[in-house]
């Protein structure tokens, strides 16, 4: 993951010990450095004391600095070594023009240091700062404890969570999605509104499937790009038993898709599959999509654009690949267990073992020889986060749900990419999905990041997200 950059706003109030700002600054910067986080803040002599903000002039100095670095800043850490001046903090953020997540932190007092020369009163000052941020209409996040020692393990965890929030918010801004092919006729469920997404800063670029098939057909077997892509495919997964002709078609398709995405500055994609590519080109795109998702460029099948966006949000939070799956089967009589499945295009890091194969479902219609290119196997056990995003045309907003569960060790024999999952109160979730009309697809990630993703989507983007717990 790219290094995170936080603007640091240190609050100071003249009635309280100034020296705490100096020591607090030193401590905070050391903690951020250990976390690998870059900090941007005024030099110690740029404001009244230690680069902290207290006066109108201090706020202007700090705001101007942040404004000059606005394209680099992912979030803002407000830290209060003493009570802090709530107006100076709020003015700094407002005048900076930054529209990024804000974390408010207050140093903890020590019971043995409560004299006039050492008492912080940050406990009280944090409330005033938050009150002013609320008045100014600036959304903000809080540490789990009201006051915290910044050198504690708990604060390190809060920083990690806030970093994930910042990455998700940044990932959603100016996101560009490539939609390759039309929505399959049998998949009304993946309808979405481009206009609602555009209003949220997410653009969709479309490509007719005939174009990508045409470009691929013009490529020769010995084209350097094709040879390189073929080598990448062979290195990515086991291809034993897959015809050479199918592998070449897959490589050419990969060159065409990646060239189009590069030329149009696209971040993620959603691809039509059923069943034009099989009938008119002779392969499935699954391994290519798996490779893109493995490289943190989410790719969803059946032109599920909002599913790809959910994958992207989860990957941004975790720094690991996401997948799109079907809520597919019950598992025996256990109400909290089920089966997640796709044909599949899951990232290879998801599997216990993986290989390239043919698409067993579509093969019955178009023939086995035309369906090579899936990547199949059992999903490895462990925790996971699930997320579904959709556009609600009736309300004109982006909605969704999020929660956590685990992939189990339960054995099962089937095809495609699959795993048995366990989710608390699973039947309640399934009822919610049906009652609210959500899709049968769900985005997932093999980490537990529901908290920061939910916070990013609701608090900072204003989307309506249900948290299942």
Shared-domain flag, residues 138 and 192: no
Sign of dihedral through CA atoms 220, 362, 304, 415?
negative
pLDDT given for residue 69 in this prediction: 98
Which has more pLDDT, 118 or 3?
3
Shared-domain flag, residues 367 and 460: yes
Mean pLDDT of 424-444: 98
Mean pLDDT of 240-256: 98
Shared-domain flag, residues 150 and 277: no
Mean pLDDT of 419-446: 98
> What φ, ψ does residue 459 adopt, rounded to 5°?
-70, -40
Shared-domain flag, residues 12 and 139: yes
* E strand map for 283-330: 299-301, 322-330
**133, 102 in Cβ contact below 8 A?**
yes
pLDDT given for residue 116 in this prediction: 62
Checking if the pLDDT of 117 tops 80, the result is no
Choose one of 157, 172, 187: the last residue of a domain: 172
Q: What is the pLDDT of residues 340-388, one digit of tens each?
A: 999 999 999 999 999 999 999 999 999 999 999 999 999 999 999 999 9
Question: How many folded domains does the chain comprise?
Answer: 2
Residue 131 maps to which CATH number?
Answer: 3.40.50.10940
**Would strands 441-445 and 322-330 be described as parallel, antiparallel, or unpaired?**
antiparallel
Cα distances (Å, whole numbers) of residue 83 to 13, 21, 86: 6, 10, 9
- Establish whether the linkage from the previous residue to 192 is cis, with ω within 30° of 0: no
Shared-domain flag, residues 232 and 357: yes
pLDDT given for residue 2 in this prediction: 86
pLDDT given for residue 48 in this prediction: 86
Shared-domain flag, residues 202 and 117: no
Shared-domain flag, residues 439 and 318: yes
Cα distances (Å, whole numbers) of residue 142 to 76, 108, 451: 12, 14, 13
**76, 9 in Cβ contact below 8 A?**
yes
Choice among 11-25, 99-113, 145-159, 247-261 with the minimum mean pLDDT: 11-25
pLDDT given for residue 17 in this prediction: 64
Shared-domain flag, residues 313 and 333: yes
pLDDT given for residue 114 in this prediction: 62
Tell me how far apart the alpha carbons of residues 65 and 93 are, in angstroms, rounded to a whole number. Answer: 11
* pLDDT band at residue 397 using 50, 70 and 90 as cut-offs: very high
Shared-domain flag, residues 238 and 134: no
Averaged confidence pLDDT in the chain: 96
The range of the structural domain enclosing residue 270 comes to: 176-467
* pLDDT band at residue 113 using 50, 70 and 90 as cut-offs: low
Mean pLDDT of 204-231: 98
Question: Token pair of 150, please?
Answer: 């910044």
Question: Token pair of 86, please?
Answer: 């709530």
DSSP calls for 420-462: EEE-TTHHHHHHHHHHHT--SEEEEESS--HHHHHHIIIIIT-
Shared-domain flag, residues 44 and 76: yes
């Amino acid at each position: 993951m790219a290094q995170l950059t936080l603007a640091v706003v240190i609050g100071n109030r003249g009635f309280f010990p100034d020296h705490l700002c100096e020591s607090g600054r030193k401590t905070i910067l050391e903690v951020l450095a250990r976390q690998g986080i870059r900090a941007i803040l005024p030099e110690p002599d740029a404001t009244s004391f230690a680069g902290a903000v207290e006066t109108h002039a201090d706020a202007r100095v700090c705001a101007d600095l942040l404004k000059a670095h606005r394209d680099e800043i992912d979030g803002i850490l407000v830290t209060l070594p003493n009570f802090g001046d709530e107006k100076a903090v709020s003015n700094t953020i407002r005048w900076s023009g930054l529209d990024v997540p804000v974390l408010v932190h207050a140093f903890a007092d020590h019971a043995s240091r409560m004299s006039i020369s050492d008492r912080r009163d940050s406990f009280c000052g944090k409330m005033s700062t938050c009150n002013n941020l609320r008045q100014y209409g600036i959304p903000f996040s809080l540490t789990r404890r009201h006051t915290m020692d910044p050198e504690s393990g708990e604060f390190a965890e809060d920083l990690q969570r806030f970093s994930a929030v910042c990455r998700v918010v940044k990932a959603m801004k100016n996101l560009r999605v490539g939609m390759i092919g039309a929505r399959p006729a049998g998949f009304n469920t993946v309808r979405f509104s481009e206009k609602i997404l555009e209003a949220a800063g997410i653009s969709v670029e479309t490509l007719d499937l005939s174009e990508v098939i045409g470009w691929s057909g013009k490529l020769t077997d010995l084209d350097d790009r094709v040879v390189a892509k073929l080598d990448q495919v062979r290195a990515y997964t086991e291809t034993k038993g897959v015809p050479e002709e199918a592998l070449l078609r897959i490589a050419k398709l990969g060159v065409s898709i990646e060239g189009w995405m590069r030329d149009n500055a696209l971040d993620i994609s959603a691809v039509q599959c059923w069943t034009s590519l099989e009938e008119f080109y002779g392969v499935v795109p699954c391994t290519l999509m798996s490779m893109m998702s493995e490289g943190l460029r989410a790719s969803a099948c059946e032109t599920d654009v909002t599913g790809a966006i959910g994958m992207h949000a989860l990957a941004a939070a975790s720094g690991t690949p996401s997948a799109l799956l079907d809520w597919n089967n019950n598992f025996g009589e256990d109400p909290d267990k089920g089966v997640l499945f796709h044909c599949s295009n899951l990232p290879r890091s998801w599997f216990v073992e993986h290989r390239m194969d043919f698409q067993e479902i579509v093969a019955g219609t178009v023939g086995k020889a035309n369906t090579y290119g899936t990547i199949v196997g059992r999903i490895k056990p462990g925790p996971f986060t699930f997320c579904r995003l959709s556009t609600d045309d009736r309300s004109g907003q982006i909605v969704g749900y999020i929660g956590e569960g685990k992939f189990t060790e339960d054995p099962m024999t089937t095809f495609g990419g699959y795993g048995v999952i366990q989710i608390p109160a699973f039947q309640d979730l399934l009822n919610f999905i049906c009652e609210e009309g959500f899709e049968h697809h769900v985005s997932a990630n093999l980490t537990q990041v529901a908290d920061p993703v939910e916070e990013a989507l609701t608090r900072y983007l204003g989307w309506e997200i249900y948290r299942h717990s």
